[in-house]
Structure 1
Amino acid sequence: MGTTLVHEGAAFVNFRDHAFARPHAHAYRWVDVKRFRIPSEGVSDRDLLAALIAHEQFRDDYAGGGVEPEGTRHGEYWLRCVTPEAYEQIDGERATRLLDAWAEQYGPVPRPLAEALRREAHDALATADSVHHLNGLAEDEYHDWASVHGEFHELVLVDRAAGRLTLLVAADD
């Protein structure tokens, strides 16, 4: 019997809800956060990644359609191509730099947006025991309309003390 994750909830930080100082900034940017309860002990990060990939909530193309229980896409990729081996373990500092560089690419992040990002993403990064970055897939694994995303960044945070796995997707379309 495999590892089971329990979906606890989600948050969505929509950049359109916050005015930027620069009017030309891309308006369709967001961070999608999904939280899962994990088993208390004895489960490797690889098994947690496999359980996440198998979970219905992972079947999300992040292009407006939401979760599709029978879906075949995940973000830019065909779901069948996403495996635990496609994730690279990185440290929290590198993950924070990745998220901040993406968020700040059009200029300073307004205070209310920065607070929402801190609450929904940075706080989880700060307490994670391990961070995994979806970084091991190539263009030939993109699905048929993957180009809808300008950028797509995915981080999986494992916080064993809190018994939580957090899936963070930062993207623009």
Structure 2
Amino acid sequence: MGTTLVHEGTAFVNFRDHTFADRHAHAYRWVDVKRFRLPSGDVADRDLLAALVAHEQFRDDYAGGGVDPGGTRHGPYRLHLVTPDAYRRIDRERASDLLRTWAEQHGPVPGTLAEALRREVLDALADADAVHHLDGLGEDEYHDWASVHGEFHELVLVDRRAGRLALLVAADD
């Protein structure tokens, strides 16, 4: 039997819920965090990524429809083309820089948003012993309406001490 992840919950940080100095700076940006409990035992990261990609919660187009158990899309990508090989391991500093650059692309984020990002994203990133970035796919793997996303950043955080895996999607549409 393969590795199984148990979905424990989701957090959603919507930039529109915060007041920016420039009222257009939120640019329809958001971060979706799906949390999973790791299986017991020593499971390789590649097997955890395979379990994540196979999980029902991964079948999300991130375009307002939510999780679709029979779905064929994952963000802008055709689901069947997202495999563990599409992820690259990166260090926490690089992942943090990626997220901060994306979040601050229109200027500093307001304090309430910075706190929400710290609580839901950056703390989990700081605790992760492995970070995997979905960057092995490109436009050839896009589905028919993938252009709805202006930017799409995906990180998988593995925290073995806490027994948790987090799927972070930061995007704008």
TMscore range, shorter length: over 0.9
Matched, 1:114 2:114: yes
In the TM superposition, residue 27 of structure 1 has moved relative to its aligned partner by 3.2
State the match for 1:27 in structure 2: 27
State the match for 1:44 in structure 2: 44
Q: Is the CA contact 2:20–2:26 (under 8 Å) kept in the aligned structure 1?
A: no
Structure 1 stretches of 4+ with a deviation exceeding 4 A read none
In the TM superposition, residue 130 of structure 1 has moved relative to its aligned partner by 0.2
**Unmatched runs of 5 consecutive residues or more in structure 1:** none
Deviation per CA, 1:92-136: give whole Å up to 9, x if none. Answer: 000000000000000101000000000000000000000000000
Identical counterparts, % of pairs: 80
In the TM superposition, residue 28 of structure 1 has moved relative to its aligned partner by 1.0
Q: Is the CA contact 1:13–1:116 (under 8 Å) kept in the aligned structure 2?
A: yes
How many pairs were matched up?
Answer: 173
Paired letter, 1:8 = E
Say which SS state the counterpart of residue 152 (structure 1) adopts: strand
Tell me the distance in 2 between the aligned counterparts of 1:39 and 1:25. 40
In the TM superposition, residue 26 of structure 1 has moved relative to its aligned partner by 4.1
State the match for 1:70 in structure 2: 70
State the match for 2:103 in structure 1: 103
Say which SS state the counterpart of residue 53 (structure 2) adopts: helix
**Unmatched runs of 5 consecutive residues or more in structure 2:** none
Say which SS state the counterpart of residue 99 (structure 2) adopts: helix
In the TM superposition, residue 40 of structure 1 has moved relative to its aligned partner by 2.7
Q: Is the CA contact 1:40–1:160 (under 8 Å) kept in the aligned structure 2?
A: no
State the match for 1:82 in structure 2: 82
Q: Is the CA contact 1:152–1:169 (under 8 Å) kept in the aligned structure 2?
A: yes
Question: What is the Cα-based RMSD across aligned positions, in Å?
Answer: 0.7
Deviation per CA, 1:57-97: give whole Å up to 9, x if none. Answer: 00000000000000000001000000000000000000000
Check 1:26–1:18 CA distance in 2 against 1; reply closer, same or farther (3 A cut): closer
Paired letter, 1:25 = A
In the TM superposition, residue 21 of structure 1 has moved relative to its aligned partner by 1.0
Tell me the distance in 2 between the aligned counterparts of 1:26 and 1:11. 18
Paired letter, 1:106 = H
